[in-house]
């Protein structure tokens, strides 16, 4: 598993938080896609559909108004995130890889979500662990066959 980031942690961060830079991969396109198209759009659509609350425009306004609108939108996301998180898809197939993400919060400027890319070996390990749980793996395979 790799953590997709916009930039690698600094040397200070790796020491302070005991991080291994080999666990990270820098990919701005993947990060942007998940932040804008999956996370932001997902919460926005959920809130607008369920609560009829409209997000404010942040792209066609300048300066202080853009910042004010951004903070408003972030407040809405923070308020409704827990509820949305319960119903959203947890895994995503994108460009041939499986990803998941978690919302860290808006205090982490530039790193509001943490994206995980699963490697094939992660999936093999998971399947092997599931086969050791009696009946669970068989049941999952049966559900996959039914959907096909």
pLDDT of res. 147: 64
| Bridge partners (DSSP) listed for residue 45 | none
pLDDT of res. 111: 85
Characterise 21 by phi-psi region: left (phi > 0), alpha (psi -120 to 50), beta (else). Answer: alpha
d(CA 59, CA 71) in angstroms, rounded, equals 13
pLDDT by residue (tens digit) across 83-116? 999 999 999 999 999 999 999 999 877 789 999 9
**Residue 113 CA from chain centroid, whole number:** 6
Average pLDDT score over the chain: 91
CB 99 within 8 A of CB 116: yes
Angle (CA) 68 72 77, round 5°: 145
pLDDT of res. 47: 98
Higher pLDDT, 16 or 141: 16
pLDDT of res. 148: 55
CB 98 within 8 A of CB 1: no
Q: Average pLDDT of 108-131?
A: 86
d(CA 49, CA 88) in angstroms, rounded, equals 14
What ranges do the domains of the chain cover? 2-119
d(CA 138, CA 85) in angstroms, rounded, equals 28
pLDDT of res. 39: 98
pLDDT by residue (tens digit) across 6-60? 999 999 999 999 999 999 999 999 999 999 999 999 999 999 999 999 999 999 9
d(CA 31, CA 29) in angstroms, rounded, equals 5
């Amino acid at each position: 598993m790799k953590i997709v980031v916009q930039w690698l942690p600094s040397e200070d961060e790796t020491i302070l938080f005991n991080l291994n830079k080999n666990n990270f991969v820098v990919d701005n396109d993947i990060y942007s896609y998940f932040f804008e198209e999956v996370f932001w759009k997902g919460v926005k659509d959920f809130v607008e559909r369920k609560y009829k609350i409209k997000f404010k425009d942040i792209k066609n306004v300048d300066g202080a108004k853009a910042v004010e609108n951004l903070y408003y939108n972030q407040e809405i996301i923070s308020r409704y995130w827990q509820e949305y998180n319960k119903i959203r898809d947890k895994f995503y197939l994108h460009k041939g890889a499986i990803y998941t993400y978690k919302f860290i919060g808006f205090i982490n400027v530039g790193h509001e979500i943490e994206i995980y890319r699963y490697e094939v070996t992660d999936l093999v390990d998971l399947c092997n662990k599931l086969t050791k749980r009696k009946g669970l793996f068989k049941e999952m395979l049966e559900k996959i066959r039914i959907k096909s």
